């Protein structure tokens, strides 16, 4: 007996069979008669059948298994002398084993033999096997053959005793094969299947179709991520599991409500179909008789594209208290939405729909760009660029694939080079709907986050918005719930992220809002250069990657009049920190706007920040990699009451740490590589919210506070501090203490995990 493993039978990744039908027959009986007519009929219907006369001569079961694994179903033609062939018997045994263990479909045809001749121990097949192979074969073979014959013969099939005319029998077989192939094939388009299987399995767990209760399952995610596709795939997949159930897929609810009859029209049409009545009015649905009918009705419904709870409330007839009694037990409703709050209010089981993984993205892109499941090898590099841009969005993958289909490589090269600069309305219009429905404050906070605060710690983002917005916490959670922002948890903290396509959309919105002088946010080097010469502008945020920018010369009064500026970021996304691109006059800046909440300036080209700068609103202050700065303020330092993070790493001439005694919210203090720093002031010990303290590579540091009182302190970095000989007393349970290359002595209070 040949061992058949799961790997042997694994279907090719693209989910398609190579052959529709494998035909098993006794050549001497039917090759030139019935089987040839059947093969011709299958061919006429474009049914791809495998029939290889050479397969019998090779006597290779391994080759047989290979063909079977690539075939959707098998037709076994039992004829008078079928049992004379040990090869035919081995074929049937292999087919039977695959059928039993892996659900392979088999259609038996009894041609001029009675089914009992095949399956019964006293039948003609058993007699032939015992007579011909009784002496030469081991009993196990005879037992295996007879068991296989019984198993296959018991499958539903056709017999020439009932349909005596060969041509009619052939028609019936072909019709049956077509029905079986259609039933076996998914009803959604092939590109819709990509990435669906694992997601359908997760939704199936939430559906729990075997449990006799009422459930609402929510598919939640950003626009274009495939919520409707997943809902449709589930709707089709569970057809057989929901027999006897009223099934309905209500599409595009949010868009359809804009039509003449709005939600009332949708509800009337939906419930008229459910109750099999014509033109039920909205008011008539309150009739107790109809409510009683609904309560006895077991349903499997999909409400697609529900964006407000009011819409779902209408669909459930406005009866929130009795929602779970509206339909019979065993009913299931799937709701797709971008708004998590809709699902929470409906007490739904929520499944978050993520984008496609890289291999899934590549397969979907291959279908739309090349009309095959994977791009050709010599197109892989360019395809990877396109896939990277899409970040798993099926919508974007389909749009880009369709745009690049049948284009030559030179077109691809130029298109992909300018990809982020080319408006793509087919993508952005879908995504923008979520933005357009926001309130004024929500729009402002979303644009700030998408343009400037992507991948920042949630507590920093919260603090940034809390200055000026008392509702910041609510708005941030609302934006997350509406799939415009993403909360990403790590071991140490939560980040707020924005999908790359939403970030691109945000910058398109900003760039379209007005002329340059009145534009709220800037990230283009040429635009920033122009704005910084105009001064009195309404700019709220500036973010510039200095690594890609040309030299820029600012005046002492450059920031005069920028009273709305909240965000200023000059950053190197490179290790070449010594490059100096932004130049100031010898006296530095005269002022910075007091409105600033975020100041990040790599390589800051001055000895100190300007005296005309009141930083009470600063949430983050980061002056990194500056060989110029010696202290943050030359004169009396202002209070930093809102500061959460102070980052002065690699400022090699910094001699003084700012006075942080009035910074009760400080959580992160980074002083790594400050080689001129000698003393860490004692007031650091009173930073009661401090989480991270980084003093690594402060080679001249020798004086530390006696204690660090913060109960939240988790990470202390003191590596390569050769002058430090004593560790402060620490009142928290540290997660990480780095003392590499530091001759420190620990007090008994330092019960920590070491990373040395």
Q: What is the pLDDT of residue 422?
A: 78
CA separation for the pair 174, 186 (Å, rounded): 20
- Please state, in angstroms and as integers, the Cα–Cα distance from residue 324 to each residue in 307, 335, 599, following that order: 21, 15, 52
CATH number 3.40.50.300 given to 190-352: yes
Q: Provide block-wise average pLDDT over 10 residues at a time, the chain (756 residues).
A: 35 57 94 94 88 61 79 94 91 90 89 94 91 72 91 94 94 90 61 82 94 96 95 85 83 83 88 88 84 91 94 84 82 96 94 94 93 90 94 94 94 91 86 94 96 95 90 92 92 89 94 88 94 86 90 93 95 64 92 97 95 95 95 86 97 94 96 97 94 97 93 94 91 87 69 43
The reply to whether 6-184 and 190-352 are identical in fold is yes
**Rg (the chain; Cα; Å):** 36
* pTM recorded for the entire structure: 0.72
Longest dimension (CA), the chain: 111
> In this predicted structure, what is the pLDDT of residue 321?
64
Is 269 considered catalytic here?
no
Domains of the chain by residue range: 6-184, 190-352, 358-422, 427-504
Architecture of domain 427-504: Orthogonal Bundle (1.10)
d(CA 680, CA 704): 5
Q: Where are the beta strands (DSSP E) in 617-667?
A: 620-622, 645-647
CATH classification (class only), 6-184: alpha beta
Asked if 368 and 379 touch (Cβ cutoff 8 Å), the reply is: no
Is the CB of residue 466 less than 8 Å from the CB of residue 323?
no
Query: CA-CA distance, 303 to 299, in Å (whole number)?
Result: 12
Type and span of the H or E element at 742: none
Residue tagged active-site, from 3, 59, 91, 100: 91
- In CATH terms, the fold of domain 358-422 is Helicase, Ruva Protein; domain 3 (1.10.8)
What pLDDT was estimated at residue 245?
Answer: 86
Tell me the C-alpha distance between 248 and 357, whole Å: 30
Gap between the Cα atoms of 330 and 315, Å rounded:
19
């Amino acid at each position: 007996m040949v061992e058949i493993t799961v790997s042997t039978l694994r279907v090719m990744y693209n989910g398609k069979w190579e052959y529709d039908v494998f035909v098993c027959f006794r050549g001497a009986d039917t090759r030139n008669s019935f089987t040839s007519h059947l093969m011709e009929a299958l061919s006429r219907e474009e049914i791809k059948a495998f029939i290889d006369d050479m397969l019998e001569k090779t006597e290779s079961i391994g080759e047989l298994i290979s063909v079977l694994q690539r075939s959707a179903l098998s037709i076994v033609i039992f004829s008078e002398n079928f049992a004379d062939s040990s090869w035919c018997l081995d074929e049937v045994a292999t087919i039977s084993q695959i059928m039993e263990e892996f659900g392979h479909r088999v259609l038996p045809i009894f041609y001029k033999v009675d089914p009992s001749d095949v399956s019964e121990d006293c039948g003609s097949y058993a007699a032939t096997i015992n007579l011909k192979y009784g002496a030469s074969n081991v009993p196990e073979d005879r037992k295996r053959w007879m068991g296989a014959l019984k198993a296959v013969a018991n499958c539903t099939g056709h017999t020439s005793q009932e349909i005596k005319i060969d041509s009619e029998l052939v028609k019936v077989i072909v019709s049956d094969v077509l029905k079986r192939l259609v039933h076996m094939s998914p009803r959604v388009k092939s590109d819709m299947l990509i990435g669906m299987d694992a997601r359908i399995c997760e939704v199936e767990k939430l559906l729990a179709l075997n449990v006799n209760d009422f459930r609402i399952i929510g598919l939640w995610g950003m626009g274009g991520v495939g919520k409707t596709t997943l809902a449709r795939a589930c709707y089709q997949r569970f057809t057989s599991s929901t027999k006897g159930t009223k099934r309905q897929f209500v599409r595009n609810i949010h868009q359809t409500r804009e039509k003449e009859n709005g939600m009332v029209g949708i509800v009337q049409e939906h419930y008229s179909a459910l109750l099999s009545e014509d033109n039920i009015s909205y008011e008539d649905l309150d009739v107790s008789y109809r409510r009683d009918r609904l309560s006895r009705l077991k349903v499997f419904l999909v409400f697609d594209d529900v964006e407000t709870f009011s819409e779902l409330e209408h669909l459930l007839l406005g009866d929130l208290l009795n929602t779970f009694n509206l339909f019979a037990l065993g009913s299931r409703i799937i709701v797709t939405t971008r708004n998590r709050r809709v699902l929470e209010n409906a007490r739904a089981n929520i499944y978050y729909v993520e984008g496609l993984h890289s291999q899934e993205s590549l397969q979907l892109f291959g279908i739309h760009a090349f009309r095959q499941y994977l791009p050709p090898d010599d197109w892989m590099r360019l395809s990877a660029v396109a896939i990277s841009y899409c970040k798993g969005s099926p919508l974007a993958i389909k749009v880009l694939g369709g745009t690049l289909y049948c284009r030559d490589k030179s077109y691809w090269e130029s298109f992909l080079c300018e990809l982020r600069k080319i408006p793509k309305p087919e993508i952005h219009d879908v995504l923008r709907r979520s933005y357009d429905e926001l309130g004024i404050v929500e729009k402002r906070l979303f644009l700030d986050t998408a343009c400037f605060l992507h991948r920042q710690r949630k507590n920093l983002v919260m603090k940034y918005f809390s200055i000026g917005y008392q509702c910041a916490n609510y708005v941030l959670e609302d934006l997350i719930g509406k799939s415009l922002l993403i909360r990403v948890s790590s071991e140490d903290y939560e980040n707020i992220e924005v999908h790359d396509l939403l970030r691109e959309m945000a910058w398109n919105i900003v760039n379209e809002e007005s002329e340059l002088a009145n534009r709220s946010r800037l990230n283009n080097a040429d635009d920033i250069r122009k704005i910084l010469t105009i001064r009195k502008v309404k700019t709220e945020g500036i973010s510039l990657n200095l690594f890609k920018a040309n030299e820029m010369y600012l005046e002492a009064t450059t920031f005069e009049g920028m009273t709305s500026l909240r965000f200023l970021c000059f950053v190197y996304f490179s290790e070449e920190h010594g490059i100096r691109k932004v130049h100031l006059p010898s006296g530095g800046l005269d002022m910075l706007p007091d409105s600033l909440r975020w100041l990040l300036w790599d390589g800051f080209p001055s000895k100190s920040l300007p005296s005309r700068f009141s930083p009470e609103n600063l949430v983050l202050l980061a002056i990194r990699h500056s060989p110029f700065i010696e202290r943050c303020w030359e004169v009396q330092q202002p209070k930093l009451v809102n500061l959460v993070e102070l980052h002065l790493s690699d400022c090699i001439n910094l001699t003084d740490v700012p006075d942080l005694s009035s910074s009760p919210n400080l959580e992160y203090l980074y002083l790594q590589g400050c080689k001129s720093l000698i003393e860490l002031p004692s007031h650091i010990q009173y930073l009661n919210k401090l989480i991270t303290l980084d003093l690594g590579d402060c080679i001249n540091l020798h004086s530390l506070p006696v204690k660090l009182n913060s109960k939240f302190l988790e990470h202390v970095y003191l590596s390569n501090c050769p002058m430090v000989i004593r560790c402060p007393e620490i009142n928290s349970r540290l997660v990480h203490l780095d003392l590499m290359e530091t001759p420190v002595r620990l007090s008994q209070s330092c019960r920590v995990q070491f990373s040395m």
